[in-house]
Structure 1
Amino acid sequence: MSYVLRKTVDRPVEGFVRTVDKSKIPTCNILGVNIAAINMEWLIGYLKKHIKDLTGDYICVSNVHTTVTSYEEPDYGAIQNGGIMAIPDGGPLSTIGRKRGHINMARTTGPSLMGEIFKVSAEKGYRHYFCGSTEETLEKLFQKLKENYPGLEIAGMYSPPFRPMTDVEDEVIVKVINDTKPDFVWVGLGAPKQERWMAAHQGRVSGLMIGIGAGFDYYAENISRAPEWMQKSNLEWFYRLMQDPKRLFKRYFYTNTKFIWLVLRGK
């Protein structure tokens, strides 16, 4: 399969080129990451309008953990800033943005974004590829999506090995994804692995890549989302912590504490 290079208004990427003007997306710089100063309504409208032009690019779903990691690791920060946008999944990010004058900025979580896109997919004819998680979770995800979103076109699913893939294996999966001609490629490898994967495949993968962390588990119904009142109160992280304390306690304790400290110091 070959792809025609088109004139770009932004930096080119391998295979595909960016054809939308990234500078028109409002941003708020938080610890060096240009977080999109948007809300869900704006984001859905933007994706509906530009989805075909975003193929080969990626969106980071950013929170306190990824923002602090970006501050500590400049190469990861460059990845956060290197896609089409980094959306404010974490409530504290949108809160800071509003305090800095972006009055319409609101939390746009990865799972909520998935749901909003799934709702309009049958009407729009969007095709979806899912890359990440385990085969068991992907099987459950397939069944639940078919039950809950009639007409949703699932182009394909792939559970990558936990070891690093060889170059040959990587080329094979890229071809498999591209042959299915997806509009959205949902990447559920967990941060920071999923962002590094998307950046490494920028310009090579057909479709818009979006790193959604635990999104596969939510829609496979392996885990439940926090009640809406907790989401609106920026407490979803606490709900997740209660579900998986062994894995998340150290991360949340360290990154949340450091984030507060850095913000109070004016960083």
Structure 2
Amino acid sequence: MGKCVFKFSKLSNSSLFAGLLAALLASACFADRRSESSTQATNGSAAGDTLHYELKQFKAFSPYLTGTESSIDSTLFTAQYPVFNPEIDSMVLEAIFIDGEQTVEQVSESFLGGFNEYAEEQIDAGNEAFHAWFKHQDSKVVLNEPGVLTLRTAINDYTGGAHGMEIELWFTFDVAQKKRLALTDFVSDTTQLLTVAERHFKKLENLADTAAYGSSYFFANDSFVLPANFGLTREGLLFHYNPYEIKSYAEGSTTLVIPYSDIEELLTEEGRRLYKELSTKI
């Protein structure tokens, strides 16, 4: 069962509007719990998955409200993440709690604690119309086949400024070896991989094979590079560029997928073993 945390001891707005918001938030929390139970019952462990897991949900609010009596907002943290058996959980911990935390409560306390300090500073300065923050984290099992597990953690947050930020982080694990895969564990010839990947990238971006990247992309010296952010999927080897990595924020993220059939000759021995496992499902 997921968790909802409410603390309203420090509300700075009128008790009427604080009470109304508290009731609304509580209602939303209980609705979320009902849907979560349904999710776990139907999708917690899909048919044919090698590893059993359950989806957990967590929600917590800051004790500080912001705004006016006609418009009140609250800072919110939410998370959804898979829970496996203890041995697998210890292996995938870095993919779910990406800043080194051990629990979802630690992630929540760190985020809300930062906002609470900011809110106290604003209230002490006489400003009760400061911006609320939010952070939504969704860790998803993308691939769960014999010997291979890929997780994607998407984070959407806002902590002030002109806009929020959305990122995706990808992690692939060799379940038999109980380790996270590095690209060189899967591909032996990364130089040739770069050539194949660039061809797919230019096709994705509708660029001619001989086109230069110029000022439209953030490639140093006009040289194509792959991100460290990659994962194995059923469709192929996936690379994900987050906003600002190779394009402006307004242009968003870029996801590049290279079919395994295009790189089969470049795989390591371990890569071939994993690809053999995957090929029976593709």
TM-score scaled by length of structure 1 = 0.22
Point out the structure with the larger helix share: 1
TM-score scaled by length of structure 2 = 0.21
Structure number with bigger Rg: 2
Higher relative contact order (CA 8 A, sep 6+): 1
Point out the structure with the larger strand share: 2
